[in-house]
Amino acid sequence: MANFTAKDVNELRKNTGVGMMDCKKALTEADGDVEKAMLILREKGLATQAKKAGRVAAEGMVIAKVNADHTVGCVVEVNSETDFVANTDEFKAFVNTVADTIIEKNPADVEALKSTVIAGGTATVDEALQELFLKIRENLQIRRFTRLEGILVPYIHGGGKIGVLVQAASPAGASEAVLTAAKDCALQIAAMKPSYLKREDVPATVLEEEKTVVLAQMAEDPKMKTKPQQVLAKIAEGKVGKYYSENCLLEQTFVKDGSMNVKQYVDSVAKAAGTTIDITGYVCFERGEGIEKKADNFAEEIASMIK
């Protein structure tokens, strides 16, 4: 006869978040010893976690977060296998706490983050991740993060699909005007996805490649063949200029007012507030970008199960 009660099973379930049947099996194996049962659950959970580590985790969420005075912030992406898990309160709470840890403790990279004691707790981030796995039973991965300092404004789009952190500099500090301008820049970034902040950031190799493409296109156009070289050079220069206006944040047309670009908008906000505002950097993560998702064929999966 098992040396435990239904109440013991329920308490173990509450403490671990693991299913009732798994808790009952663990208590049976541990002969009613709760501490030993918790160890068994952890060992079995970690073994399962190792097996699932190879499964694609392209869902999850991206969060952008700053401290109370907008001086330190981060963008972090944590992935799960399904959007169902990504929408649970436990998963969201974990990602938020990971962001707090990055802001407070400034780990060097993801591996350093995992060995860091989690904000507000005593376990490491990796141990907290393992505890979450025991409850969720999906491959969970802390994929990447970037931490910035300065005057910072976060923006999260689509419930964690896109996370943006904008960095600004101003004599006015984190005033309402500065935060408003930076927030509008964050919205611009999420919508238009610029590749660079300003034209000086565009690598020379990218510009040369763009010029090569433009010249090749003109060479194929019969209307261009009769034009003088100096005219062709000016046309090419104009087309490269268009590349800047499409790919550099400060030169993009401002989405809220098409009569100006982003730099002109920021300057107008600064002028109205009697100060200067410079957008000095940004980070934008899109959930799952670059991860090759497995295309499941439901009919084939059922057929293989029948076989």
Instruction: Please state, in angstroms and rounded to a whole number, the distance separating the CA atoms of residues 208 and 232.
Output: 16
pLDDT at residue number 50: 41
What CA–CA distances, in Å, run from 242 to 52, 89, 254, 256, 270?
47, 44, 15, 20, 26
pLDDT at 71 over 90: yes
pLDDT digit string (tens) for 72-130?
Answer: 999 999 999 888 888 999 999 999 999 999 999 999 999 999 999 999 999 999 999 98
* Averaged pLDDT for residues 128-143: 85
pLDDT at 303 over 60: no
Q: Which of 105-114, 133-142, 218-227 has the lowest mean pLDDT?
A: 218-227
The amino acid at 225: K
Q: Are 99 and 84 in contact (CB under 8 A)?
A: no
Residue 217 pLDDT level (bands cut at 50, 70, 90): confident
pLDDT at 215 over 80: no
- Average pLDDT over the chain reads 86
Instruction: Please state, in angstroms and rounded to a whole number, the distance separating the CA atoms of residues 52 and 136.
Output: 12
Q: Are 190 and 157 in contact (CB under 8 A)?
A: yes
| Cβ within 8 Å of residue 15, ≥6 positions away | 38
pLDDT at residue number 98: 98
The three-class DSSP label of residue 162 is strand
The residue among 307 and 150 whose pLDDT is bigger is 150
pLDDT at residue number 2: 64
Pairing of strands 162-169, 151-157: antiparallel
Instruction: Please state, in angstroms and rounded to a whole number, the distance separating the CA atoms of residues 184 and 260.
Output: 14
- CA angle 237/242/244 to nearest 5° reads 100
Give me the residue label for tokens 């439901």: 298
pLDDT digit string (tens) for 238-256?
Answer: 777 788 999 999 999 999 9
Dihedral (Cα; 191, 193, 196, 202), 10-degree rounding: -130
pLDDT digit string (tens) for 95-108?
Answer: 999 999 999 999 99
Question: 193, 198, 196, 185: which is closest to 162 by C-alpha?
Answer: 193
pLDDT at 277 over 90: yes
pLDDT at residue number 165: 98
Model pTM? 0.75
* Averaged pLDDT for residues 204-225: 79
pLDDT digit string (tens) for 23-47?
Answer: 888 888 888 888 888 777 766 664 3
| 60 burial via Cβ count (<10 Å: 0-12, 13-18, 19+) | buried
Sign of CA dihedral 93, 94, 99, 101: positive
Instruction: Please state, in angstroms and rounded to a whole number, the distance separating the CA atoms of residues 61 and 58.
Output: 9
Pairing of strands 151-157, 278-286: unpaired
